[in-house]
């Protein structure tokens, strides 16, 4: 009986211990929050980045690195799959960079958003949504340092070529020539000193004339100002003549217009007036002729006309031979 009780107790203890170990493993390995996977695309080196490295969005840990591999379609690109907690505000303007964890040399992923594309980041079909990896500050400094070293190397090469033995000899020769030229200039100045002393009386004689130059310049300025006034007066006279010429031209144009108006309108009317006067004069002439022949017509009217052929009272007149 004791053996059976011992075996039963040992079996129960084993079952309880296994259940506790399994629950602990599930607790430490499992996640109680929903996550989403994204794909980082990098064309730069990812030194120090390993799987399970943390992923931080603006300093907050939101996920971890799942895998790192090369892009089979583009070998120069590196694909990093990450898992990020659901609800993280990722957009199409989100980008990734690498950060360094102290002095260990290990790296982690930094996610940030520049606000250029506020649309939410979503996958396209079965493919994971992609996020661009930009060079970190250390990468930028390293690239700038390499460019700076290249520039220093070129400057050093140029300095070496400038300070070659041949250039040094030419520089030494130039310095010697300058030394000789300075000596010759000093000798020339020494030889010219007597001539300068001899010219001093002439300079003193010319000095009054030089002093009189300002007054002469003032007089010349006044003369120029008077000439300017005279030219301005002449310009005004010329403008007056031009205005008079334009007025005369305008009057001639008006005269031509008046003459054309008289030819086109007044002459025809004058001709019609002459014709009316001619008709009136002929009518007056007939009236005077009738009054002369029949003066009594003014009072009694005109004599009746003799009846013509076929009219009552018509009679043939006999011709007396």
- Tell whether the model's pLDDT for residue 188 goes beyond 80: no
What is d(CA 50, CA 37) in angstroms, rounded to the nearest whole number? Answer: 17
Domain ranges of the chain: 34-137
Residues 6+ apart with CB under 8 A from 76: 43
pLDDT of residue 298: 56
pLDDT digits (tens, 9 = 90+) for 205-225: 777 766 766 776 677 677 767
pLDDT of residue 318: 45
pLDDT of residue 55: 92
- Which residue has better confidence, 291 or 183? 183
Instruction: Read off the pLDDT of each residue in 186-215 and give the average, rounded to a whole number.
Output: 74
Given a contact cutoff of 8 angstroms between Cβ atoms, the answer to whether 84 and 62 are in contact is: yes
Which neighbouring-strand residues pair with 64?
Answer: 54, 83
- Confidence class of residue 270 from pLDDT cuts 50, 70 and 90? low
Mean pLDDT (the chain) is: 76
Instruction: Read off the pLDDT of each residue in 297-315 and give the average, rounded to a whole number.
Output: 63
- Confidence class of residue 291 from pLDDT cuts 50, 70 and 90? low
* % of the chain at pLDDT higher than 70: 68
CA atoms within a 13 Å half-sphere pointing along the CA-CB vector of 256: 6
- Tell whether the model's pLDDT for residue 135 goes beyond 80: yes
User: Of 9-23, 119-133, 188-202, 287-301, where does mean pLDDT reach its minimum?
Assistant: 287-301
Alpha-carbon dihedral 268, 274, 275, 281, rounded to 10 degrees: 170
Beta strands 54-57 and 60-70 are: antiparallel
pLDDT of residue 207: 73
Beta strands 107-113 and 54-57 are: parallel
């Amino acid at each position: 009986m004791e053996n059976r009780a011992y075996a039963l107790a040992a079996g129960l203890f084993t079952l309880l211990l296994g259940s506790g170990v399994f629950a602990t493993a599930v607790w430490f390995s499992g996640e109680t929050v929903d996550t989403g996977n994204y794909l980082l695309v990098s064309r730069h080196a990812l030194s120090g980045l390993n799987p399970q490295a943390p992923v931080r969005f603006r300093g907050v840990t939101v996920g971890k690195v799942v895998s790192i591999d090369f892009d089979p379609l583009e070998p120069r690109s590196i694909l990093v799959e990450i898992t990020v907690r659901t609800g993280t505000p990722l957009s199409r303007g989100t980008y990734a960079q690498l950060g360094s964890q102290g002095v260990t040399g290990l790296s982690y992923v930094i996610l940030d958003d520049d606000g250029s594309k506020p649309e939410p980041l979503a996958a396209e079909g079965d493919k994971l949504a992609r996020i661009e990896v930009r060079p970190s500050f250390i990468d930028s400094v390293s690239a700038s340092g390499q460019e700076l070293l290249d520039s220093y190397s070129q400057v050093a090469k140029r300095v070496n070529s400038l300070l070659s033995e041949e250039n040094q000899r030419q520089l030494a020769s130039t310095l010697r020539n300058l030394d000789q030229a300075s000596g010759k200039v000093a000798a020339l100045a020494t030889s010219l000193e007597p001539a300068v002393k001899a010219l001093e009386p002439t300079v003193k004689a010319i000095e009054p004339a030089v002093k009189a130059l300002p007054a002469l310049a003032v007089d010349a300025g006044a003369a120029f100002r008077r000439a300017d006034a005279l030219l301005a007066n002449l310009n005004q006279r010329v403008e007056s003549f031009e205005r008079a010429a334009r007025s005369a031209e305008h009057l001639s144009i008006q005269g031509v217009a008046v003459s054309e108006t008289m030819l086109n309108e007044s002459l025809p009317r004058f001709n019609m007036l002459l014709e009316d006067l001619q008709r009136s004069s002929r009518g007056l002439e007939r009236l005077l002729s009738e009054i002369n022949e029949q003066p009594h017509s003014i009072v009694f009217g005109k004599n009746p006309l003799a009846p013509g052929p076929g009219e009552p009272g018509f009679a043939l007149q006999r011709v007396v031979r």
